[in-house]
Chain A
Amino acid sequence: MRARKSKFVLFVVLLIAMFAIIAATTSVIVKGITLGLDLQGGFEVLYEAAPGQKVTPQILNDTQEAIRKRIDVLGVAEPDITIEGTNRIRVQLAGVKDQKKARELLGKQAELTFRDPSGKQILLRGKDLQEGGAKLDYDQANQPVVTIKLKDAKKFEEITRKYVGHPIPIYLDNQQLSAPVVQEPIAGGNAQITGQRTVEEAQELVDLLNAGAVPIKLVEKQSYAVDASLGAKSLRDSLEAGVIAVLAIFIFVIGYYRLPGLIAVITLIVYSYLVLVTFYVLDVTLTLPGIAAFILGIGMAVDANIITSERIKEEIRVGRSVSAAVRAGSKRSFLTIFDSNITTIIAAVVLFIFGTASVKGFSVSLIAGILVSFLTAVGLSRLLIYLLVRSNMVNRPTLFGVREDEISDL
């Protein structure tokens, strides 16, 4: 048989093109993948609406918005605030320096109330405040005070008229901030909150009030906090483990299957790259178990290559020529791979439909892994091995891990 160099050249060109793309874009993609809190440090709190409150999707949305505004006060980049179920909100903050303060700020409902002298009856609520109307100011003694503006100046005037000579305590949630005694009815709708010890404390109150109250009372149900350095270490450890695992798999596959093994390794590299691209495009957050699943996924993606390579070996052993064996082996293994993958996809799709958030995320990566592996281990492998076989440069059975004496004569 004459060697057809053009096919071989095509094979090499294809290979170079693929690896060029991978080499050029991988670092951008890897940097663009969001790392979970366990890998970059930070903290996460799951809040649930305290029982006995009316919670509608609208209220939850407002709550989410209020929390977002408040996190802006903290200056955290890219907070992740998600509504879960009918009454829960999950807040994920990566790379927060002062976790204690963040938690204090987040946990507060921050509703400002003016109450009657007994402190029991509420006269004015947070929603009566003008939005963004809180300001930091200083009194005559140069102590910081917080000034607020009320929406309805008339209402405030009436209230203050009613309580002349009495205190009307101002509360933030259940904590009394100050209890100013009304000297005379106040017109104009401006009020002052005193009793802030430091400028920072006063500024924080201003920010809280301007961010607005969280419409419902929230209870901390779950929390999770990781040191940034610990996260970095986990990332390093798991990547190290991954590199060793992948190298072991590559050496094993090439050692056992020779040429189809080499093809498998090429397709596995493309597989890994495409899975990362999928994570990037779908904005999947990569967590520690996610990395583990990804590494094990490589082990499983190899399965399709192994099935095909075994089939090719079988066909060579019964006496077919290499090119006929490759064709028959690829064709026969296709349905097997298809059926076995479809069943896994069915399982993953059901998990996605019926599972809760974390299970959903898991099933998305499972489905992505299977689809990509089907594309690479079946499509790409076939293309590559056909090109090689048609070039007539690789027709020795030993290249497929079959010894000459194993081949039965027909």
Chain B
Amino acid sequence: MTYRIDFVNRRKMFFLISAITILIGVISLFVQGLNLGIDFVSGTRLDFQFAKTIDLEKAKKELSDLGYENPNARLGGNNNNILIVRVDKKLEKADVDRIAERLKQTFQMTPHVQEQTVDPIIGKEIAKNAFYAVLIASLGIIVYVALRFEYRFAVSAIIALFYDALFTISLFSIFQLEVDLTFIAAILTIVGYSVNDTIVIFDRIRENLDAMKPKKWEELVEVVNTSIGQTLVRSINTVITVVFGALALCILGGESIRNFSLALLFGLVSGAYSSIFIASQIWIGWKWKSMQGENDRARETAVAE
């Protein structure tokens, strides 16, 4: 079914929605920043997994007794059975053993321990590197799309790409979800997928452009609306399949990949949104401006003759 929805005439509203979401995100990033995980802040993170849920306050008290005052501890996992402790300094193996032993005695359960100690420099290096890599990749994509399509498509797709990345980062800031190295991998996946999604719609626009040869604004609007309508079912269905994967991983996949899956979920839904409501809309505005320019020139030449 091809849906007849006028996406283009509502584009100002969508620009506004997009701008507001980004604004809220940027404000959140400035005000509360990101909840940086152990990969970016020096210290040790300990995950103690128990057979069943434990009393957080009791655990905190035990930690205080051991000399970790006001411990940064929380519960995680499907049954709140994982005690996650963050300590600002590097812990030695002996310290970890001491904590594990104390918890074992307190709760009468042997915890499974996961321990991670990090120098933040390494995490920051990887993040910085990934950021530059994304910038260079964007240039590469612009060049390819400009050659195969036209530069307006290329730039519009890249703007949508940055929107998706920023949107996902914003949500992580707003909800203060922990950001670790896998988050970078998630953002990179989103970047790759976002362009992929946008190009499918642009490809249709290009095809319909050749077939319909629009001259007037209304005709150009028709081209874009038709193209989005024709690819809408595909956009929705692809998002649905990805959402199946991400949701299953979020719910069943365990604590350590929950945030990774969430990031992908946000980013991939955003990718579908931005292709329709940002990339296509930027393109049509820009394309119309240049068509007007061409029309004016054509008229001038006609008058001159």
Contact = CB atoms under 8 A, between A and B. Distances in A.
Given A46-B122, A256-B237, A292-B257, A359 B115 contact: no
Interface in B103-120: 112-119
B237 A306 contact: yes
B206 to A, nearest CB: 9
A225 B257 contact: no
A231 to B, nearest CB: 9
Contacts of B134: 347, 351
Interface stretch (B58-66, B139-147, B284-292): B139-147
Interface string A291-335: 111011011101100110010001000000000000000001001
User: How big is the B interface, by class?
Assistant: 35 or more
Contact of A224 (B116, B204, B244): B116
Given A46-B122, A296-B246, A300-B238, A343 B199 contact: yes
Contact of B252 (A224, A240, A298): A240
A296 B112 contact: no
Contacts of A222: 117-119, 122
B6 to A, nearest CB: 21
Contacts of B195: 340, 343-344, 347
Contact of B133 (A99, A248, A351): A351
Give the interface SS of chain A, mostly helix, strand, loop or mixed.
helix
B254 A347 contact: no
B182 A359 contact: no
B126 A300 contact: no
A350 B137 contact: yes
Contact of B241 (A299, A307, A336, A346): A299
B196 interface: yes
B53 interface: no
Contacts of B117: 220, 222-224
A401 to B, nearest CB: 10
Nearest to A237: B254
A274 B248 CA distance: 23
A302 B256 contact: no
Interface in B59-114: 93-94, 97, 112-114
Interface stretch (B18-26, B166-174, B185-193, B295-303): B185-193
Contact of B200 (A225, A307, A359): A307
Interface string B232-243: 011001101111
B249 A241 contact: yes
Contacts of B203: 335-336, 339-340
A406 interface: yes
B112 A227 contact: yes
A234 B256 CA distance: 8
Given A299-B242, A340-B203, A348-B192, A310 B136 contact: no
B224 interface: no
B264 A359 contact: no
Contacts of A253: 241
Contacts of B10: none
A251 to B, nearest CB: 9
Nearest to B94: A100
B93 A354 contact: no
A18 interface: no
A188 interface: no
A182 B264 CA distance: 69
Contacts of A346: 137, 140-141, 144
A333 B80 CA distance: 47
A38 interface: yes
A233 B78 CA distance: 13
Interface string A236-256: 011011101110110011001
B191 A299 contact: no
B126 A293 contact: no
Interface string B140-175: 110011001100000001000000000000000000
A5 interface: no
Contacts of B204: 336
A227 B241 contact: no
Contact of B196 (A298, A303, A358, A363): A303
Contacts of B185: 289, 293, 358-359, 362
B293 interface: no
Contacts of A307: 200, 234
B3 interface: no
B241 A244 contact: no
B169 to A, nearest CB: 17
Given A343-B141, A343-B199, A238 B192 contact: no
Contacts of B273: none
Instruction: Among B112, B130, B192, find the residue whose CB has the most chain A CB atoms closer than 10 A.
Output: B192
A65 B168 CA distance: 43
A171 B84 CA distance: 41
Nearest to A361: B185
A289 B260 contact: yes
Interface in A276-297: 288-289, 291-293, 295-296
Contacts of A242: 248-249
B249 A406 contact: no
Nearest to A347: B137
A348 B181 CA distance: 17
Given A103-B93, A244-B248, A347-B137, A237 B1 contact: no
A356 B191 CA distance: 17
B238 A343 contact: no
A219 to B, nearest CB: 9
A165 interface: no
Given A306-B238, A340-B197, A347-B141, 15 more contacts: A221-B118, A222-B118, A223-B116, A224-B115, A234-B256, A252-B240, A298-B245, A299-B245, A306-B237, A339-B149, A341-B196, A343-B196, A344-B193, A359-B126, A359-B188
Interface of A: 38, 46, 48, 99-100, 103, 220-227, 229-230, 233-234, 237-238, 240-242, 244-246, 248-249, 252-253, 256, 288-289, 291-293, 295-296, 298-300, 302-303, 306-307, 310, 314, 332, 335-336, 339-344, 346-351, 353-356, 358-359, 362-363, 366, 406
28 contacts: A221-B118, A221-B121, A225-B114, A225-B116, A230-B49, A230-B112, A238-B252, A238-B253, A245-B245, A245-B248, A248-B248, A249-B244, A292-B253, A292-B261, A296-B242, A296-B268, A299-B243, A310-B233, A332-B207, A336-B200, A339-B148, A339-B199, A340-B195, A350-B137, A356-B126, A359-B129, A359-B133, A366-B192
